[in-house]
Structure 1
Amino acid sequence: MRTVFRAPRAVVDGAERPAAVLVDDGRIEAILPPDAPVDAPEVRLAADEVLVPGLVDTHVHVNEPGRTEWEGFASATRAAAAGGVTTLVDMPLNALPPTVDVPALEVKRKAADGQCVVDVGFWGGAIPGNEPELRALHEAGVFGVKCFLLDSGVPEFPALPDPRGAMRELAVFDGLLLAHAEDGALVGEAHGRRYRDFLASRPRAAEDSAIAGLLRAARETGARVHVVHLSSADALPLLAEARADGVRVTVETCPHYLALTAEEVPDGDTRFKCCPPVREEANRDALWQGLADGVIDLVVSDHSPATPELKGTGDFGSAWGGIASLQIGLAVVWTEARRRGWSLADVVTRMATAPADLVGLRHKGRIAPGAAADLAVVAPDETFTVGPLAHRHPTTPYAGRTLHGVVRGTWLRGERVDHDRPGPPRGRLIGRGDA
């Protein structure tokens, strides 16, 4: 069915402008002047609303099957839709089995099938000894493979401190390696309630050293690499230099590193624990500069929930490290961005277009002719207080915060997603190369 979205404000080509967006058969047919006559039903936006492309979150831990009590495809995709996310890519851990070969990928796809209200793709995993599986995973449609350069926190996904073997294999077919970059030799142990002890146990130097090693390996092998969840701003010059030298490296950071600071974390409040950790205010400011300069390419959630019993122990050594923010990532980033003079278009470009480009989904994350009609309506000036979310568990460090940016509606391929009563799930399981 044809529909026209009439928006006094729409994010098109990286900027806001008035537009009428004509949708037909799940695709954007044309971008027209706002008052262009069209014989089609209308969705007319209010003056305080902005039409944006559906966000693409390429760093989500859904944890199903095996640890579905932590999250799950049904709850994760409902949360995504509520936050304007129309496509997510699931990490290879912490599900059981981890996605380190094609049979495990098929188990995960079977678990997801029929549950998803937004589109879902998958990363594979690189662990010691599975180099022969990487081409098969690539051909089966994963967008790339992820490794940990130190202990991942789960025994079934062991560390790959020397990723060069995997990178040489990936370079043959131009696959992408994602790396959790911390140097285990520089990471200490911290137990107890004091956040400063936990922060000191995972210093910036651990990230900087691991990233330097990853970049040397990328130079040696020619492989494409992606640094996940960058938290150390000290690594930005290394990354900028490598890119200028022709190293094919991309970088992401996360809402918690752009919005939270070490100075505000209360002792014992393990809702704030993540690895690498939330760092000091000056470091946060430098990350924003790295994002503005283009050294950091994109912002994704690293949604990594766990049960309240695992997350809220009060001991930063034993609590699960991960922050739940899939539903509110846009609001978290926008609230801080607007304070810094950024536009909503600046934010959306880095949370929709850039992640889509990372995984080669050129028909996602943008309002353009031929693109999927994955859209969200946002009221950027409206505030809300973070309360119960569609995630399986309510544990988040943002609870009780007042944020700007209310998502008033989400559309997947031109059809509205009601995350409260979604009806038959219409999300698709997608793979590399899907258009």
Structure 2
Amino acid sequence: MRPNSLHYLISLALLSQFSAADAQQKRTYNVAIVVHEGVELFDFAGPGEVFAAAARSNDVANINVFTVAPSKEPVVSQTFLSINPNYSIDDAPPIDILVIPGGRTGVLLNDAKFMAWVKELEPKTDNLLTVCTGAFVPARLGLLDGLKATTHHGSIASLKSGYPNITVIEEEKFVDNGHIITSGGVSSGTEGALHMIQRIAGLKAAKGVARYMEYDHWSPDKGLMAYENEAIKKLKSMSVTTKSRDGMKSDFSGFERELSNVTAEMVDFGELEAYGDELLENNQSELSLMVFRRLSELYPWSIIPFDRMTEVARKTGKNDTPPTEEEFINLIKENGIAAASESFETWQKKYPGWKIFGEGSLNILGYKYLYGPEIDTALGIFQLIVKAYPESWNAWDSLAEGYLKSEDYPMARKYYNKSLKLNPENTNATKMLEQMKTQYAGQ
């Protein structure tokens, strides 16, 4: 049996080399939002804003948002807004998350072709999210039979009387059955979408989107969880004690073996993170650390699991840990880029492969300095990013822009070409190199 002391486990997590051996490539979620004649404006615009904002800000998954309609003809919402759908049900790309808003839902219910499309598509999706009376679409198809569901408060009675096989829930912002999530009326769709972001990208991402939208009253506890992930349920059933001559003692080997079998296909990022939080709240730091470690193996590009491991280690008295991303950014702001670069090098030597910061967060900070009075700080930040993420074409593109802004044209050309080598489809680099040929020829 492996040693099970907390000191050993923390050392294991912090000192190990990190690799993407168990990770897949960063996943892209195609989010299709249905629009139809008479669709309720906030029903589709609220979730649309949530998913679009998350696409720009989270570091766990790529999110591609588009609209789909029964046909390519424009539809009108609230009598004044004309919407040109991106796709029709005939030419839509593969869909991972299907969002069905409410409004004049009869338009959809009476469209046999659309209903057949949803019925065929539903088992191929990761999730189906309904808003308001959009719940009547899966209800009509029998997809909510035996499940709990909610809808707009004005349609609760109709859902109950029309579909007795559904347990209709009142006074909940959303009801999550695992695959199908139904949300209440109008603004509740925003709550349901934020919950979806929490599931696929974690609580930090969802809170960040809510803050960006100034939707500060959002709470992840305002919905009903009507299911439990099977992989997590199995982990919870694992015994972490064993008998010995001295009585019962801790034995994490079975739990650790089962955890190593958990894949990204079995559990969402946010679900596994929430389980790690639950363990931490129950003073099971050893198990919590294992869960966050597994999260870092499945999603090695995300900063979140590394910050969470640092948090657990510090709560158990181990303070010789790398800084969190927030602490590192504050170090740049308060002590300068030279001190931050030195800190980065120190921690990388001590814990090779450990993520100190996310590429996106530091890139945003770099641009704040680039278009302010501290171009040298911006260049230092971009140089730090390419050290940490040398395979990122965007990181080299940003560094090139930094040199262009500082009028170092040879270095700008060099790094735009480096970015293009990594991503030949980087149109910005192509455009800037062409401009430099004419505007800065000979420089």
TM-score of the pair, normalised by structure 2:
0.31
Identify, as 1 or 2, the structure richer in strand. Answer: 1
Identify, as 1 or 2, the structure richer in helix. Answer: 2
TM-score of the pair, normalised by structure 1:
0.32
Task: Name the larger-Rg structure.
Answer: 2
